[in-house]
Structure 1
Amino acid sequence: MINEVVRLKISSDRMEAWLEILNVALINELDSSDLHTFLKEEKLETRLFCFDEQQWKTQLTETGKITVSKGIPHENGKDGYIEWFVQLEEILEEKEKTSFRDIKKIPTINKDMEIGMLIHPTAGKSGLDVYGNKIKSKPGKKVITKAGRNVGFDDKKNTFVSQIDGKLSISDKLIQVFDTYEWNEDLSLETGNIDFIGSVYIKGNVPTGYTVKANGDIHIIGLVEGAKLKAGGNIIISNGISGMDKAIIQADGDVIVNYINQASVEAGNNLIVTKSILHSQCVAEESILCENGSIIGGSCSAGHKIIVKHIGNLSNSKTEISLGINKRKREELEQFQKELTTYEINKNKLLVLGKQLQEKNNLTTNERIMLLKQRKMLEVTEQNLQKCEKAIEELQISIGNYQDLDVIVNGTMYDNVELNFGKYSRVLNREYKYIKASLKEKEIVIESLK
């Protein structure tokens, strides 16, 4: 009879169930036990019933429908993060600038100063739908940033602590503190090449033929010509790079520059360009950000995103844009996988040898020596296995998923631009404006941003 009086409806996500009245005249012939029986027959979880035992008929008559069951939403875990105790903002405000070339300030830190606190991720909470089915939650992601050079970690406080007075350098992977070397003029024969354990700050230009190496950051106020720069941290060039196809710029962290012309640039994190990238070979492990400028000619490759105003030009200069793992990382991953296989084979052989020797009752002197060597070699092999597994895991995390890759063009993408997403490729034969390119179902798709 109850089916003649009310109708049960379930939301598409099965997180809510409600009754709709069909026959008001028959409503008073029902009681709460009839409703409980009806809902149980519909397989709804009794723990999630939420109607008023006394007022449900009145509410149903007045409103035409009432909610009878609500699911428990799941809660995904919160990602871990670092709560910073220091000022991380490096971009100068307009009132702080003394010249149009001033872009960033160098953050410093004192010995024994706490840099930040590591906050661990949470596991999350599972939920239930109205039928009592469990809804799984996702745990939060761990922080991959670790203490690097001249930085310690206090396990009791979960804090990163500076071990020296120096320059703070922060990337996604490492927190480091470096001493800084400063030079107030152009590099010349008076200085020669620079190779310094900390950071380098040059207030002049770096001419063709010179090399600057730093375990920390390199900050250059002037122009970089056909020179070589290599940094374990970030590279900041306030003016630009006029490379003449000779400049080689490599940073384990970010590369931040005004413009790039005919140079090879590789960033372990992000490549951030204020104006333009012209006829250059650029690689960024994370993203290339040239939001107010153009990429014309050459090739640009990023691990996750490329955001730019224009790609190519009216002359249809061939311009290659690639997203996903770069060649160097792919080769590195393949090498570690080969080494892992070799170590696993060696481990199995050593285990068999050890078992054969241990099963013997009376070992000879040579066999005892062999057993000692076997144990030592097994220990070393297991250590190498762990190192390989860890390296493979870190590389696989950095490779990511092709589905998360985007090229965003806030202006025009011209003809003769080649888009590559991993192994998938598409050459454009017409002009596009205000678009996002991504990989969907193994096809490079171009969508309008409007």
Structure 2
Amino acid sequence: MDLKKIFNITTSDQYLYAYLHLVNRSEWESSHEPSDVLINELIKFLHHHKIQYGIKQDVLHSIIKNIDEVQFPVLIAEGMPPVNGVDGSVEFKVDHSVRMELNKREQIDFKNVMKIPTVEPGEIIAVIHDPTIGQAGKNVYGEVLKPKEGVSISLAAGENTTYVEEEQAIYASNFGQVSLINQEIKVLPLYEVSSTLDLKTGSIDFNGSVLIKGDVPEGFKVDAKGDITIEGLVEGANITAGGSIYIREGITAIGKGAIKAGVDLTTNHINQGYVYAGRHIRVEQSIIHSNVSAGASISCQKGHVIGGTVSAGNSISCQDIGNRMHTPTQVFLGESKTSREHRVNTDIEYEKLKSEVSKLTQLGQLLKRKQQQEGLSNKEKLTLEKQTQLLVEKQLKLQELSKEYEAFDQYYDLSEFMKLTIHGTLYPNTEMFSGKYSKKFNRIQQKVVVLFKENDFYTEPID
């Protein structure tokens, strides 16, 4: 019996599954071969198609017993998929960020007292777990499928900490606050101010973490290498932290000062402020007429984003954006407003330099041609000398700008699947930007997700 005329075989991606197709039922039914012979013929047929592993004997017997009860195409062989390794991880034994209690809706309760994580000498801070290599699989051809090995975690023991290699653990070697800055665990001293900053306390510049149990009025500065925790209000002040910033009452800046966190920023509201965080920004209430930028994400839990600009590397989530007065509101995904303006200015400068290089090149060619034919006057010789020097300077600057263009192109490759999530209302006169692309929304939309992918903006309803 020629089984090639009766059956056909297809396989899935990575050849993990093989399916048997019945293409000529009458040819099979006309066969009078014994069952054991047919089984062997079917196995030889599979082997002819290089199917070696995971052959389903029960399916073969079902075909022999009563082919009419078999639903074709039928899974005839099944490989074993590889099990990828697990990435390395860090198990923190203590809190490493200021903690504020969440209510049942997972919203910050700013009425609760902030808990500052501190440790004592000899206290264990974290344990580092190695990645696993995973387990190899095998496809239906009997070929080994290699697993993807887990990636090691990058974490270093910083100031006032000790790494014990046998335990793969990090311990505190001094009193202080635990801070995680740039993948480095540190125990930093804590400087505490028991009241609002005034002329008596002055501004603060501290090589550690700072706790202020009051307000920071306009004109004051607070700089800290670690985290900054402020239990009151920030008004038009300059606040800079190498770690995270926590402001319980909120930010009312009146367009003055700036707040910059190396890691995260958490606050109640932002009004007319300039705020930046290297990773996440979390706001309980509203962001109004402010310039807010985060390296990863912005979450405005139950308030509005009205006016100004908000920028995030990956995602922005809020209740409403814009308002009924159609206040212009700008949203930047992937790059901030400042970065976009820099790119536009770079584009203008690049085109200007190209034009200047072209003109200088033409001038040089004319002068050199004249020099060969009839010679140059002293004035023309000086002009050629200046032209040569200026051309080299312009070409070097053009090369530098070309490298910036390459960086912009890399950004476009990484800008897929960024999103803005609006749990309430998206109002007209809201404009979104991502790289060189933009879109202005001119109608009210409710409960939508705006995605940027494949160099365009798409609006989808929230599930």
- Asked if Structure 1 and Structure 2 have the same fold, meaning a TM-score greater than 0.5 normalized by the shorter chain, the answer is yes
Alpha-carbon distance in structure 1 between the residues aligned to 2:93 and 2:280:
24
Q: Deviations for 1:171-194, whole angstroms, at most 9, x for unmatched residues?
A: 562322111111121111110111
Preserved contact between residue 32 and residue 53 of structure 1 (Cα < 8 Å): no
Residues 189 and 237 of structure 1: CA distance in aligned 2, closer, same or farther (over 3 Å): same
Alpha-carbon distance in structure 2 between the residues aligned to 1:117 and 1:219:
26
Alpha-carbon distance in structure 1 between the residues aligned to 2:431 and 2:240:
29
DSSP-derived class of the 1:230 partner? strand
Please, which of 40, 44, 52 is the counterpart of residue 47 of structure 2? 40
Please, which of 278, 282, 290 is the counterpart of residue 300 of structure 2? 290
Preserved contact between residue 148 and residue 176 of structure 1 (Cα < 8 Å): yes
Instruction: Give the equivalent residue in structure 1 for 2:429.
Output: 416
Alpha-carbon distance in structure 2 between the residues aligned to 1:4 and 1:202:
82
Alpha-carbon distance in structure 2 between the residues aligned to 1:329 and 1:149:
33
* Structure 1 position 100, deviation (Å): 5.4
Instruction: Give the equivalent residue in structure 1 for 2:125.
Output: 115
* Structure 1 position 10, deviation (Å): 4.0
* Structure 1 position 55, deviation (Å): 4.6
Instruction: Give the equivalent residue in structure 1 for 2:200.
Output: 190
TM-score normalized by the length of structure 2 = 0.74
* Structure 1 position 170, deviation (Å): 2.8
Residues 271 and 398 of structure 1: CA distance in aligned 2, closer, same or farther (over 3 Å): farther
Instruction: Give the equivalent residue in structure 2 for 1:278.
Output: 288
Relative to structure 2, which stretch is displaced further, 52-61 or 189-198?
52-61
Please, which of 75, 81, 89 is the counterpart of residue 83 of structure 2? 75
Q: What are structure 1's unaligned runs of at least 5 residues? A: 332-395
TM alignment of 1:371-386, pairs within 5 A: none
Residues 80 and 100 of structure 1: CA distance in aligned 2, closer, same or farther (over 3 Å): closer
Percent identity of equivalent pairs: 34
DSSP-derived class of the 1:32 partner? helix
Instruction: Give the equivalent residue in structure 2 for 1:17.
Output: 18
Q: Which of the two has higher C-alpha Rg? A: 2
* Structure 1 position 123, deviation (Å): 3.8
* Structure 1 position 114, deviation (Å): 1.8
Instruction: Confirm or deny that 1:91 pairs with 2:104.
Output: no
Instruction: Confirm or deny that 1:51 pairs with 2:64.
Output: no
Instruction: Give the equivalent residue in structure 2 for 1:262.
Output: 272
* Structure 1 position 168, deviation (Å): 1.2
Q: What is the identity, as a one-letter code, of the residue corresponding to 2:16?
A: M
* Structure 1 position 136, deviation (Å): 5.7
Count of matched residue pairs? 384
Instruction: Give the equivalent residue in structure 1 for 2:346.
Output: none
Preserved contact between residue 109 and residue 166 of structure 1 (Cα < 8 Å): yes
Please, which of 395, 400, 414 is the counterpart of residue 401 of structure 1? 414
* Structure 1 position 32, deviation (Å): 2.5
DSSP-derived class of the 1:48 partner? coil
Alpha-carbon distance in structure 2 between the residues aligned to 1:138 and 1:400:
23
Instruction: Give the equivalent residue in structure 2 for 1:434.
Output: 447
TM alignment of 1:195-214, pairs within 5 A: 195-214=205-224
Relative to structure 2, which stretch is displaced further, 5-14 or 304-313?
5-14
DSSP-derived class of the 2:154 partner? coil
* Structure 1 position 135, deviation (Å): 5.1
DSSP-derived class of the 1:47 partner? coil
Alpha-carbon distance in structure 2 between the residues aligned to 1:60 and 1:414:
65
Alpha-carbon distance in structure 1 between the residues aligned to 2:275 and 2:413:
22
Q: What is the identity, as a one-letter code, of the residue corresponding to 2:443?
A: R
Alpha-carbon distance in structure 1 between the residues aligned to 2:154 and 2:336:
21
Q: What is the identity, as a one-letter code, of the residue corresponding to 1:91?
A: M
DSSP-derived class of the 2:255 partner? strand
Residues 61 and 328 of structure 1: CA distance in aligned 2, closer, same or farther (over 3 Å): same
Please, which of 212, 222, 233 is the counterpart of residue 232 of structure 2? 222
* Structure 1 position 61, deviation (Å): 4.9
Q: Deviations for 1:48-96, whole angstroms, at most 9, x for unmatched residues?
A: 323159955566558425643111213233222102222458233679x
* Structure 1 position 233, deviation (Å): 1.2
* Structure 1 position 273, deviation (Å): 0.3
Residues 427 and 123 of structure 1: CA distance in aligned 2, closer, same or farther (over 3 Å): farther
Residues 183 and 115 of structure 1: CA distance in aligned 2, closer, same or farther (over 3 Å): same
Residues 253 and 137 of structure 1: CA distance in aligned 2, closer, same or farther (over 3 Å): same
Q: What is the identity, as a one-letter code, of the residue corresponding to 1:16?
A: Y
Preserved contact between residue 207 and residue 224 of structure 1 (Cα < 8 Å): yes
Q: Deviations for 1:307-354, whole angstroms, at most 9, x for unmatched residues?
A: 1111111111111111114478898xxxxxxxxxxxxxxxxxxxxxxx
* Structure 1 position 45, deviation (Å): 2.7
* Structure 1 position 293, deviation (Å): 1.5
Preserved contact between residue 6 and residue 19 of structure 1 (Cα < 8 Å): no
* Structure 1 position 16, deviation (Å): 2.5
Instruction: Give the equivalent residue in structure 2 for 1:242.
Output: 252
DSSP-derived class of the 1:91 partner? coil
DSSP-derived class of the 1:106 partner? coil
Preserved contact between residue 96 and residue 179 of structure 2 (Cα < 8 Å): no
Instruction: Give the equivalent residue in structure 1 for 2:438.
Output: 425
Alpha-carbon distance in structure 2 between the residues aligned to 1:166 and 1:285:
28
TM-score normalized by the length of structure 1 = 0.76
Please, which of 65, 70, 76 is the counterpart of residue 64 of structure 1? 70
Alpha-carbon distance in structure 1 between the residues aligned to 2:126 and 2:110:
32
Preserved contact between residue 51 and residue 67 of structure 1 (Cα < 8 Å): no
Preserved contact between residue 296 and residue 315 of structure 2 (Cα < 8 Å): yes
Relative to structure 2, which stretch is displaced further, 9-18 or 196-205?
9-18
Q: What is the identity, as a one-letter code, of the residue corresponding to 1:422?
A: G
Q: What are structure 2's unaligned runs of at least 5 residues? A: 343-408
* Structure 1 position 408, deviation (Å): 1.1
Preserved contact between residue 217 and residue 234 of structure 1 (Cα < 8 Å): yes
Residues 420 and 150 of structure 1: CA distance in aligned 2, closer, same or farther (over 3 Å): farther
